[in-house]
Amino acid sequence: MRWFLNLFRQKKTLEQIKAWLAEGQQKQQSEQQQAIEQAQQAFPELLKSATEAIAALERAELRNPNIPERAKHYMLGNREQFLKLTTRFVENLFVPKEGPDFSQLELLFHQYAQNTTRPAAILSEFLGQEVNEVRKCLAELEKNIGDIKAFQLKKERLQSIEALLKQLDDVKAEQERIATEREALATQLQQLSNKRDTLKKEKEQFNTRQEYVKVKEDLLATTKERQEAEQVITGLFLPLSDAVKKYAHKIKNDKLAHYADNPVDALIHDYALSILKHLTGITESLTQGELELRPEKSHKALGALKQLTKDNLSAMIHRYAKAKKREADMQSDVAQRPIMKEYEQYAIDLKTINMEIEQLEKTIAKLNPPTDEQIKAELAQELEKHNIALI
């Protein structure tokens, strides 16, 4: 059915609606001001009529003299209450001009109606003509106020449209701001990416420089020497791993068990070569099958045990210590060379730029522009009240 109604609605763009709104607000303001002026002219006379009607009710005599005395007292009590409430009500009436005025008067009318319903109904049984005259005067005052309220309601509806248009403008401005910011950040991101690519190429070229290649070769040589020394130690103790572990567990010796987990570290810190004291025990445990190893493992372990001599272990320790010192000295020496400082600077620069790129990408990802669909839907609903369709 909505599509059918839309056929008879005026179709307007946002810009056309803004022009229509400005014209409508100007017209509404003029009409409301005119209504206020007319009400101000009529109000004194209407208040006078209401006051006279109240006075007439106060003076009125019962038309039936045969009414019981008790009923008369009942009537007088309700008339006194009705007159008091109505007089106070009329004294508080005024011509409304601003939004809060209408809320104040609406509350005033509501409280009056609530408080006078019962006494007015009772009083009407005795002095119906006079009560109706008061009501007639009050109705004229209410109509006079209501005429202005109709313009105020129109003003508020137009203000609702104005507020929605303002929200749309704000959203559009925010969308444009975010788009501009995203564009600027995207440019920064591209510049950083280009800088990173340049640094990578420079680093790749740096890696081929003879001076740097020589440094790497020196480092690799000392590292290889240290690794070979470690491999000799590891190769000797590898066949003994299970046997040493089980025997150490058997005699509850953690220092000996360390040879099974890390033979290099265990040997270089075994300054007294205490492992030699356990050779006999390990050998006997193996030959007697106490360690429960498979025959081939026991055979290999027994063969390795024969190589565990003081001279052999001392030579291994000396070789490893010498290689380790040469590696440490080389690393210390290389660290002081300008070529390595230059290399380290490339690493620092690349790390810094990668962090900047990551942070910038996160910032861009968080820049989500607001949408205006909900605001446009609310605007369309408001415009329907004015027989206008938003296009």
Summarize pLDDT for 201-217 with one digit per residue, the tens: 988 888 888 888 888 88
167 and 287 co-located in one domain: no
pLDDT band at 5 (very low <50, low <70, confident <90, very high): very low
Q: Note whether residue 239 is domain-resident.
A: yes
Q: Note whether residue 197 is domain-resident.
A: no
pLDDT of residue 354: 94
pLDDT tens-digit series, residues 160-173: 999 999 999 999 99
Q: The domain containing residue 12 runs over which residues?
A: 7-181+373-390
Residue 380 and residue 338: Cα distance in Å, rounded? 72
pLDDT of residue 8: 53
Return the closest-CA partner of residue 113 out of 135, 140, 143: 135
pLDDT of residue 1 exceeding 70, the answer is: no
289 and 169 co-located in one domain: no
154 and 224 co-located in one domain: no
Whether the pTM exceeds 0.75: the reply is no
pLDDT of residue 63: 78
Write the DSSP symbol of residue 390.
E
213 and 175 co-located in one domain: no
Residue 267 and residue 258: Cα distance in Å, rounded? 9
234 and 175 co-located in one domain: no
Q: CA-CA-CA-CA torsion for 322, 326, 331, 337, nearest 10 degrees?
A: 160
CA distance readout (Å), 289 to 236, 239, 240, 286, 295: 22, 16, 15, 5, 9
96 and 149 co-located in one domain: yes
CA distance readout (Å), 390 to 17, 111, 161, 170, 386: 8, 42, 12, 18, 11
Burial 98-122 (b: 16+ CB within 10 A, else e): eeebbeebeebbeebeebbeebbeb
Q: How far is CA 73 from the centre of its chain?
A: 71
383 and 287 co-located in one domain: no
pLDDT tens-digit series, residues 258-304: 999 999 999 999 999 999 999 999 999 888 888 888 989 999 999 99
153 and 222 co-located in one domain: no
Q: Which of 290, 315, 336 is the last residue of a domain?
A: 336
Q: Note whether residue 98 is domain-resident.
A: yes
Residue range 296-314: mean pLDDT, rounded:
92
Q: Note whether residue 350 is domain-resident.
A: no
Residue 128 burial (CB count, 10 A): 11
Residue 168 and residue 373: Cα distance in Å, rounded? 10
Q: How many domains does the chain have?
A: 2
pLDDT of residue 7: 47
Residue range 366-386: mean pLDDT, rounded:
91
pLDDT tens-digit series, residues 231-253: 999 999 999 999 999 999 999 99
Following DSSP, what letter does each residue of 13-57 receive, concatenated?
-HHHHHHHHHHHHHHHHHHHHHHHHHHHHHHHHHHHHHHHHHHHH
pLDDT tens-digit series, residues 37-61: 999 999 999 999 999 999 999 999 8
Q: Note whether residue 33 is domain-resident.
A: yes
Burial 163-190 (b: 16+ CB within 10 A, else e): ebbebbeebeeeeeeeeeebeeeeeebe
130 and 247 co-located in one domain: no
170 and 214 co-located in one domain: no
pLDDT band at 122 (very low <50, low <70, confident <90, very high): very high
Q: Mean of the per-residue pLDDT values for the chain?
A: 91
Return the closest-CA partner of residue 243 out of 285, 275, 274: 285
pLDDT of residue 148: 93
Q: Note whether residue 168 is domain-resident.
A: yes
227 and 125 co-located in one domain: no
328 and 221 co-located in one domain: yes
Return the closest-CA partner of residue 334 out of 227, 204, 226, 212: 212
pLDDT tens-digit series, residues 54-106: 999 999 988 777 788 888 888 899 999 999 999 999 999 999 999 899 999 99
8 Å CB contact between 103 and 15: no
93: phi then psi, degrees, rounded to nearest 5: -75, 145
Q: Note whether residue 331 is domain-resident.
A: yes
Q: Note whether residue 227 is domain-resident.
A: yes
